Amino acid sequence: MRKSRHIIISMASLLVAAVLLYYGMNYQGVMMSIVGAALLLQSLSIMATPVSGNSELGEGEFYKRIVTSYASNMEKLLTSATGSQAFYVPFEDKVMVIVASGGLNNKFKIDILLDAVGHELAKELEEKLNMSEEASFEDFLSKLGELLKEKGFIEEFEYVANEELLFFKVKNPATIKLHKHLSRIAPKTYSYLGCPLTSAIAILTVKFLGESFMANFNVEGDAAEVKLKPARLGFVQVVRNERRSLA
Amino acid sequence: MKDEVSLRRTTFILAVLGFLCIRLVAAIIYPLFPAWDPWSYHWTLNMILSNRVNPLSNKSAYYTSGITYVLVSIVESSGISSFDAVKWLSPVIYTLILAPILFALGRQFGGSYKAGLIALLLFGVSDIGVLRQSYTIAEGLALPLSIVAMYAAIKYYREGGKYNLFTAALILLTLPFIHHLTSFIMYFTLAVILTSLVKFKSYERNLTLTLILIAASIVVFASQAHAYMEHQTYIRLLIFLKGLNKSRAPVSVYEAMTEKYSGVPRSYYELLLHHLSTGFTLLLAFITFLNLVIKRIKRPEEVFHYVWLIVTVVFFFASSLGDYFFGWLFDFYGYRAWIFAAVPASIFAARLLSKLSKVTPVVVLFVMVTSTIGTCVFILHQFDTMNIYQYEIDTSDWIVENLGNNTLIVSPASFKTSYSLVKLPYLVTVESKDVRFFRCNATYIGITLSSGGYSNVYVMSSERATEKPFRTAYLVVCYDIFYEGDFIRIYDSKVAWVWKSNRKWTIEEEATMQARG
């Protein structure tokens, strides 16, 4: 249905473009020629897109649009928080994301407070992992990697852990398309919140270690990356801002 | 939070005030109408305001635009002269429209309040921006409106909304009646942008904006704008193609960039100083541009800015190169395309500067201070040079008061070498019933002078005639003849002179003079 609508629109555009080009070129209509050429290229591109078969029409596209809409709005909010960073902070039985700016002398000002995404998945994974209190961080990571592979969520799980940085590389996650899409339409939102899968990994890590981390999500080719840096937050001022506070 | 908001508001208001103040420098230092090219803009404006010519019904009024005319008419009713109103209102109107939009675009692209403020300040102290917005000129008004149209188009593409669409449509359809080159560049840029935006698959918004461009192209085609934007383009292209096979030595880059100035820079060093702001802005914009290419453009608004920068900068460089290689065959001189590149370049540069300011605010301070100094020197030089024009008017007044009937006054442009009596050079703007101003050319001056009928023959001249842009390859005043006993100087105001001829010449003498010249 949608495909045929696109074809009808592009055919009509093609016709208008031809008329514009004809009159433009024959009667010294410079602007008509330029606009006609632009319309011609647009209609050809529109025609070519559904034919290429890459379009995901139907239910998947509908959800993608909803995600896009949320991400775009979130992006506007986060963009307004100038020079900010995202911190994953354990809070009671949850992990909160604090978007804070400043950073001078390790003192931050909270701009936005959010629930981390992927709590449901994190809860499910936590139950499956069933880690004992004595378990080492190394054990936790290797178990987590195995569990994710077993569930078919990822292809490979690599990590680097030291006192200054925790770095996770998730190869071919099931949500890779979402990663790429989010990082394209809402780069700042993606770098702060990741996707439900990578965010769940960050939540589990924060919960396990019980510390606050500065988080950054990134996508490189077919791999998603999570960087967590230990952070000592010295909040000097908690800002109440109705427009920004979502939590 | 309240403190922060009020601090931001104060900073923004201060930046807008600074933006306006630097645009009022010309009006302050120049007692008449500031205008880059006094011989055409001043004359046209003078005609419109003196004769109350409605700009909508007269194509010469093109230079002032209808909006300014209406505002001037309103202000005039308060007792303020139309000349003063035009002089002071123009920069204020340009600033009020442009400043908030530039700030919004800079903030949107740079992602922070600081980026918006830096974009506003960068264009605020831009040499070409200040120059073209210091006086009443079509570009001055068309540019801010076109930027509003661009902002509305970006907003519509991102968020939709009938008001955004309506604003973009209204301005884009009105633009060709304000200034042809601005509308041409804006349409061309938008056409390329919309073609590039297809990859985001918002087909409906893409085609809706294209529909506005289609309507605009039909409006252009069916209106008087067609003559300026399309018919003349063909004629110029034809002249250009015909002239391609003729060998023509390229002018220097220096000449290509400065030929249209009122006050020509005296050296490369001065040229560099005057245009520090353009140098910094383009350099910083180029770095941001590369950064964006490497990181890949991800958002539609980035595509808008990215294509906008490419199209306008390419247009600017192509026009400058055209001047360099072919002289002024085209109307698209480098200097005319300059201001269009300055806007997106400022927005790009602001993005980088706002990031650099986190590392060290000194960089921003350095760029701003040096650009402001360079631009101020440039503006002072331009408009101070133009003060000479006032001396010329004083000279004209002196002539009208002191010279009697039956007097022939020859303007310096009379010495232009021409083979046609019909193609006479510049008009002389001084008017008097008793004094006849005569325009002729060097070939026929002898015939005129020897034909009798004039008791006195005077030549009005000025320092300007010896300088660019009046002293060019096709206009040379033969000053030698004044010093060979044929003329005596009877008026001297240091920069303008009146010469009186001692005797009448014969045709043979004239031919000798012509051969010498």
pLDDT in tens, B146-165: 999 999 999 999 888 889 99
Tell me how far apart the alpha carbons of residues B99 and B11 are, in angstroms, rounded to a whole number: 13
Among residues A14, A22, A19, A5, the alpha carbon closest in space to that of A43 is found at: A14
Using CB atoms within 10 A of its CB, is residue A42 exposed (0-12), middle (13-18) or buried (19+)?
Answer: buried
Query: Which range is least confidently modeled, B139-153, B216-230, B495-509?
Result: B495-509
Same domain, B332 and B380: yes
Which residues of B are less than 8 Å from A241 in CB distance? 1
Q: Do A42 and B220 touch (CB under 8 A)?
A: no
Cβ proximity of B367 and B287 under 8 Å: no
Domain extent at residue B419: 389-516
pLDDT band at B283; cut points 50, 70, 90: very high
Which residue in A4, A15, A22, A35 has the most chain B C-beta atoms within 10 A of its own C-beta, making it the best mutation to test that interface? A35
* In a shared domain, residues B112 and B158: yes
Q: Does A6 touch chain B (CB under 8 A)?
A: yes
Average pLDDT over residues B449-463: 60
pLDDT digits (tens, 9 = 90+) for B180-218: 889 999 999 999 999 998 888 788 889 999 999 999 999
How far is A31 from chain B, CA to nearest CA, in Å?
A: 5
Q: Of the residues B386, B403, B422, which one is the last residue of a structural domain?
A: B386
CA dihedral (A210, A211, A216, A222) in degrees, to 10, reads -30
Q: B148 with B255, same domain?
A: yes
Question: What confidence tier does B417 reach under pLDDT thresholds 50, 70, 90?
Answer: very low
Is B145 in the same domain as B74? Answer: yes
Q: Tell me: the pLDDT tens digits for A28-39?
A: 888 899 999 999
B236 touches chain A (CB under 8 A): no
User: In this complex, is the C-beta atom of B1 within 8 Å of any C-beta atom belonging to chain A?
Assistant: yes
* Interatomic CA distance for residues B404 and B382, integer angstroms: 36
Mean pLDDT (chain B) is: 75
DSSP string spanning B251-275?
PPHHHHHHTT-SS--SSHHHHHHHT
Question: What number is the average pLDDT over the span B244-270?
Answer: 63
Of B367, B386, B405, which one is at a domain's C-terminal end?
Answer: B386
Could you tell me which residue, B326 or B313, shows the higher pLDDT?
A: B313
B216 with B334, same domain: the answer is yes
Residue B335 has pLDDT above 70, yes or no: yes
CB contact under 8 A, A82 and B206: no
pLDDT value for B214:
94
Amino acid sitting at position B343: V
Co-location of B340 and B398 in the same domain: no
User: A69 — contact with chain B (CB < 8 Å)?
Assistant: no
Give the C-alpha distances (Å, rounded to integers) separating B13 from B8, B16, B93, B95, B97: 9, 5, 16, 12, 14
Rounded-to-integer distance, Cα B377 and Cα B246, Å: 39
Does residue B450 share a domain with residue B318? no
Q: What is the pLDDT of residue A180?
A: 78
- The token pair that represents A95 in the structure block: 């992990």
Identify the burial level of A29 via C-beta atoms within 10 angstroms of its C-beta, where 0-12 means exposed, 13-18 middle and 19 or more buried: buried
Q: Inform me whether the C-beta atom of residue A26 falls under 8 Å from chain B C-beta atoms.
A: no
Helix H or strand E encompassing A217: strand A213-220
Q: Are B181 and B139 in contact (CB under 8 A)?
A: yes
Written as six digits, the tokens of B218 are 């039909």
Same domain membership, residue B250 and residue B181: yes
* Pair B27, B121 in one domain: yes
Domains of chain A by residue range: 2-52, 65-238
β-strands A223-230, A213-220 pairing: antiparallel
Question: B250 and B329 in one domain?
Answer: yes
User: Token pair of B475, please?
Assistant: 């206009």
What total number of domains does chain B contain? 2
DSSP of B416-455: ---S-SSS---------SSEEEE---TTTHHHHHHT---S
Average pLDDT, rounded, for chain A: 77
CB within 8 A of A150, min separation 6: which ones?
Answer: none
> How would residue B228 be classed by pLDDT, with cut points 50, 70 and 90?
confident
Which of B328, B357, B386 terminates a domain? The answer is B386
Residue with the larger pLDDT of the pair B407 and A171: A171
CB pairs under 8 A between A and B: 92
Which range, of A225-229, B8-12, B78-82, B190-194, averages the lowest pLDDT?
B78-82
Does residue B9 have a pLDDT over 50?
yes
- Min Cα–Cα distance to chain A from B87, Å: 34
Fold of A65-238: Muramoyl-pentapeptide Carboxypeptidase; domain 2 (3.30.1380)
